[in-house]
A and B are shown apart, each in its own frame.
Chain A
């Protein structure tokens, strides 16, 4: 069974600064997807970024980028130029390519301060 661990329950950052959220996972599969989801106070789940394990290049979406270290089973999210609207709970998640279920970490509550 896959497990996903987020060891930072809460983080805070000043507006316009950069912050990195950590995620580690455990799996015996070689092909899989990793995700970062954002859940703002509205509680709607929003996909931030997705990484395919077979791709060596780290995924990037505007101010959001990941550092994917497959051998270390690490998948961190970097948010550059933090904005007040980035305040949310962030979840790391795993899905095997041949599997159906999405496995989530415990979440990191990020607060961006003005």
Chain B
């Protein structure tokens, strides 16, 4: 079945570490997105990519980095510059129309 796979489901990061969240889709969608979810703030856009080898900053890109070397993959790296990374991270994709597919998310906790 087509869909988006996010891994891992839970991730723990020590202070000062970089960590990478995986997002893979087999839907042949061109556009992919990373959202951060915090209580009471809804989903905020971190980065998005509409085509391979190209991506744009969203509203809260500071402390994060992405790459889009393959159409199927859009990994998100949370760097040590992100001061408050504990959150739930959702990946999404779309073919360009109004339909979006979401992954099941990664819960990142700083320990």
Chain A contacts to B: CB under 8 angstroms: 4, 6, 9, 33, 35, 42-45, 47, 50, 52, 91, 95, 100-107
Contacts of B44 in A (CB 8 A): 104
The B contact surface, by secondary structure, is strand
In contact, A43 and B105 (Cβ under 8 angstroms): yes
Give residues 27-54 of B contacting A (CB, 8 Å): 31, 33, 35, 40-45, 48, 50
In contact, A100 and B41 (Cβ under 8 angstroms): no
Contacts of B43 in A (CB 8 A): 91, 104
Please give 4 more A-B residue pairs, beta carbons under 8 A apart, in addition to A43-B105, A45-B102, A47-B100: A45-B92, A101-B45, A104-B43, A106-B41
In contact, B50 and A44 (Cβ under 8 angstroms): no
Contacts of A105 in B (CB 8 A): 42
- 0/1 interface trace, chain B 78-111, chain A, CB 8 Å (1 if under): 0000000000101010101011101011000000
Write the nearest CB–CB distance from A8 to chain B, whole angstroms: 12
Q: How far is the CA of A43 from the CA of B39 in the complex (A)?
A: 12
Write the nearest CB–CB distance from A108 to chain B, whole angstroms: 10
Residue of B nearest to A50 (CB): B98
Interface residues on B, range: 20 to 34
Residue of B33, B40, B41, B90 near A101 (CB, 8 A) is B33
Contacts of A35 in B (CB 8 A): 98
Contacts of A101 in B (CB 8 A): 33, 45, 48, 58
Contacts of B31 in A (CB 8 A): 100
In contact, A107 and B45 (Cβ under 8 angstroms): no
Give residues 4-35 of B contacting A (CB, 8 Å): 31, 33, 35
Q: How far is the CA of A104 from the CA of B44 in the complex (A)?
A: 7
Residue of A45, A100, A106 near B48 (CB, 8 A) is A100
Contacts of A45 in B (CB 8 A): 90, 92, 102
Give residues 41-80 of B contacting A (CB, 8 Å): 41-45, 48, 50, 58
In contact, A44 and B40 (Cβ under 8 angstroms): no
Contacts of A50 in B (CB 8 A): 98
